[in-house]
Structure 1
């Protein structure tokens, strides 16, 4: 749950909405619980008075011989009716009698059909049993109180009292023949905070609220996902269309800032490339002039050293111009079979006489600038053959990266110079053969290309040579249901590449 909470903004939004719902419903239950209990009590009292009035009217409209049958038929599990000759003025004794009658179980259907058994039951003393009947406390309670005619259904007054401190009630009303109808009622009032109806209502509300919250959260995070995809693609050096500048003010301002940043970066890179090309181009003229003047030096040894230095300077200038020209070309990013790309490069180098071997590797699809990445691998392979006699190349897929590994059998390089060898025009003097070496741009160009793809070049000594690893990131982002930037695993499935362009 914590992992899901940290991963998804939608989950957080839904959880917060559900927590707010639970808190609001809990506060509502606490505030209205007493009001609900009072409403239930008023309804129960109204039912008691109405039933008592109905029984009184039925007794007055039927012959006296049927009175006992009517009383027995009117009894319920929580109310009893009986008739006495005189008014029960002693409230305490009446409460005791009511308690006994309420505790006495109702007669069964068979006993009602057997008059003799029912008559025997009528003369049998009532034994107080409390099974299924609410206990009635009769101490410290008020005596009878007058119930005016307007307070209940009949047009005559009655007497009313409470059997206990909660929900027990009693009523005595005089009939037309002078006798008194007594009614005792004791029903435990249940007022649960959560009923089945409230639970169902709360569950339905929670589901609807969760759906609405998820929909709102996804709409809110869609521009953020689009921005994340665009930022990742920009970091990999891809050329992007400007993000749509629409939506709420905050989203629109973020898109505007990203588009402005992208334009500034592209302008900065273009300016730097043009400046580098201009410097390399302008150096050609003085180098040529110096070479012509060096030809007139009379000392042969001095002349050869000067010409050698000028040739080296010219090579560095030509390499700089070539690098700037490649930087100025905006290569399109596309999906390729990375293993096939590296294998074809190794085959080309073998035909040129290089000692290069490509180890069997699974087919791996990757989205990149193929020509630039091919040049980076070529620089590393040529570097391995030049200084380590031979190169072994392989491609491997890791959970979070794709690795192109180049190993040689050379002497390796000192650990303290692992970072320095990537500097432009840097060459090792002791552990590398300078006469067979280049001008010191190979590793710098290779790392620059790989870093434009979001990866890096890592060097390490193996004890029997040097290992150079091109580590490319595996990124899988989705936006609006479309795969934006992803690596498609192809091992064992044949080549299947996603042809869709970045959904930015």
Structure 2
């Protein structure tokens, strides 16, 4: 539950809405509980008075010989009726008598027929009679109840049997006797019935669905911003976000669009600067080369010409690098495994010892040409300095890895990061005569980092291991169509549709 709370804004919104519902229902319950109890008590009293008035009218309209049967038939599980010759002035004694009568079970029809009207076999006792067994000494005596307060057009006497819902009433009949009525029904004042619980559950369900829909709708711009930020961090060209919606969302979209424009302008300015520097260096290099031809000392002239050649190669490499940076390659879905395998096959055909391990198809969204060049630089370095290259592609839980191993001497630990600097070359551990100008690793790391990953080097003891770590594609940028479409796209990009040939034995 805590994990879901920390992970999803929708879950938080739904939980807050449900807590608000529970709080409002609790307050409503507390406010309605007393009002409901009063309403139930008033309804019970009205029922009791109406039934007592009906019994009084029935007794006055029937012969006296039938009164006992009428009184027995009128009793219920929570009420009793009996007749006394005179008014029961002693309220305490009358309460005790009423409680004892309520505690006695009602006779069944079969027992009355067998005993000739005498209660013999009885039904189970009422619910509230035993609870009124203890007398309450501070209860008030009989209270005069006017004729306007109940259905009969004559006054009556009323009292409470206990401090809860027990009631008693006595009214004078036409023949001078008094009808006594006792009521002891227990009123359950609870709002948590099955119907209320069902209503609360349906309300919570509807509220949860509505809250989830509203939260998803409100967070859609934030998800779009997160996807765009992830794509921008991977070097993709992102369309400007729509600057609409609430003020907070609109300001976030405006800030993101401005940030993207500034980053793109910064990269373009840097690329143009590198291209301008490389282009402007051509003229002085050519001029120096012409002047070097007039140097009399042959040894000095050759050294100067070698230095100028190296400077020219670095300038050309800088120009090539800046041109590739300036060229915008679109991001697309490719089969990463097929990309690496085809590259290794091309190097095998050129006579290099490259072995690539079989791997499952891995779809990936990237700039295929740039990533291919990065992998090629690492494989060529492994072949050049380590005699042979072993390449493998793995899909790890944390990232996708392209591993290139060689059998070379490795590199010193203190220069593990320096080798990624532009134009840096190792003269002791690497053969400078067969090497390039020191841009291969720099270009490889730059390309991979533009994809959101990184390149790391590790000495294995038997050689050097270079690992390209690429983040898994985001949910919005996954490989559509699976392995088949990815392979077809890559085959079209490579310009061939035939299966991959097996590498030559090494």
Taking structure 1 as the reference length, the TM-score comes to: 0.93
Residue 287 (structure 1) aligns with:
285
Unaligned runs of 5+ in 1: 478-483
2:481 and 2:398 map into 1 onto residues whose CA distance is 12
1:495 aligns with 2:484: yes
SS at match of 2:250: helix
Q: What is the count of residue pairs matched by the alignment?
A: 486
SS at match of 1:495: helix
2:2 and 2:413 map into 1 onto residues whose CA distance is 42
| Residue number among 394, 397, 402 corresponding to 2:395 in the alignment | 397
Residue 160 (structure 2) aligns with:
162
1:48-80, Cα deviation, whole Å (9 max, x unpaired): 111111111111122222222211111000000
1:485 aligns with 2:477: yes
1:43 and 1:3 map into 2 onto residues whose CA distance is 51
1:200 and 1:495 map into 2 onto residues whose CA distance is 51
1:98-134, Cα deviation, whole Å (9 max, x unpaired): 11211111111202334x4424x49x9x9x9887634
Residue 498 (structure 2) aligns with:
none
SS at match of 1:272: helix
Q: 1:129 to 1:400 in 2, by over 3 A?
A: closer
Please say if residues 335 and 499 of structure 1, whose CA atoms lie closer than 8 Å, have aligned partners that are also in contact: no
2:164 and 2:109 map into 1 onto residues whose CA distance is 32
2:465 and 2:385 map into 1 onto residues whose CA distance is 12
Please say if residues 476 and 487 of structure 1, whose CA atoms lie closer than 8 Å, have aligned partners that are also in contact: no
1:120-165, Cα deviation, whole Å (9 max, x unpaired): x49x9x9x98876343233412221111111111111001111111
1:179 and 1:259 map into 2 onto residues whose CA distance is 97
Unaligned runs of 5+ in 2: 490-506
Q: 1:264 to 1:76 in 2, by over 3 A?
A: same
Matching of residues 15-54 of structure 1 within 5 Å: 15-54=15-54
2:237 and 2:31 map into 1 onto residues whose CA distance is 61
Taking structure 2 as the reference length, the TM-score comes to: 0.92
Residue 138 (structure 1) aligns with:
135
1:210 and 1:436 map into 2 onto residues whose CA distance is 68
Per the TM alignment, residue 497 of structure 1 is displaced from its structure 2 partner at its CA by: 4.1
Q: 1:23 to 1:193 in 2, by over 3 A?
A: same
Per the TM alignment, residue 496 of structure 1 is displaced from its structure 2 partner at its CA by: 4.5
Residue 237 (structure 2) aligns with:
239
Residue 197 (structure 1) aligns with:
195
Please say if residues 410 and 429 of structure 2, whose CA atoms lie closer than 8 Å, have aligned partners that are also in contact: yes
Per the TM alignment, residue 498 of structure 1 is displaced from its structure 2 partner at its CA by: 11
2:293 and 2:229 map into 1 onto residues whose CA distance is 55
Per the TM alignment, residue 384 of structure 1 is displaced from its structure 2 partner at its CA by: 0.9
Please say if residues 75 and 106 of structure 1, whose CA atoms lie closer than 8 Å, have aligned partners that are also in contact: yes
1:441 aligns with 2:439: yes
Residue 92 (structure 1) aligns with:
92
Residue 107 (structure 1) aligns with:
107
Matching of residues 98-497 of structure 1 within 5 Å: 98-114=98-114, 116-119=115-118, 121=119, 133-136=129-132, 137-140=134-137, 141-477=139-475, 484-487=476-479, 494-497=483-486
Please say if residues 365 and 489 of structure 1, whose CA atoms lie closer than 8 Å, have aligned partners that are also in contact: no
1:17-49, Cα deviation, whole Å (9 max, x unpaired): 111111121122223322221221111111111
Per the TM alignment, residue 265 of structure 1 is displaced from its structure 2 partner at its CA by: 1.1
Q: 1:131 to 1:31 in 2, by over 3 A?
A: closer
Q: 1:437 to 1:198 in 2, by over 3 A?
A: same
1:397-440, Cα deviation, whole Å (9 max, x unpaired): 11121111110111101111111100000111221111111100
Please say if residues 293 and 301 of structure 2, whose CA atoms lie closer than 8 Å, have aligned partners that are also in contact: yes
Residue 76 (structure 2) aligns with:
76
- After superposing the two structures, state which structure 1 stretch, 135-144 or 88-97, moved more: 135-144
Per the TM alignment, residue 283 of structure 1 is displaced from its structure 2 partner at its CA by: 0.3
SS at match of 2:344: helix
RMSD: 2.1
1:368 and 1:317 map into 2 onto residues whose CA distance is 29
Per the TM alignment, residue 367 of structure 1 is displaced from its structure 2 partner at its CA by: 0.9
Please say if residues 474 and 487 of structure 1, whose CA atoms lie closer than 8 Å, have aligned partners that are also in contact: no
Please say if residues 365 and 495 of structure 1, whose CA atoms lie closer than 8 Å, have aligned partners that are also in contact: no
Please say if residues 41 and 167 of structure 1, whose CA atoms lie closer than 8 Å, have aligned partners that are also in contact: yes
1:53 and 1:70 map into 2 onto residues whose CA distance is 14
SS at match of 2:40: helix
Q: 1:204 to 1:407 in 2, by over 3 A?
A: same
SS at match of 1:395: strand
2:214 and 2:481 map into 1 onto residues whose CA distance is 33
1:201 and 1:130 map into 2 onto residues whose CA distance is 32
2:347 and 2:127 map into 1 onto residues whose CA distance is 100
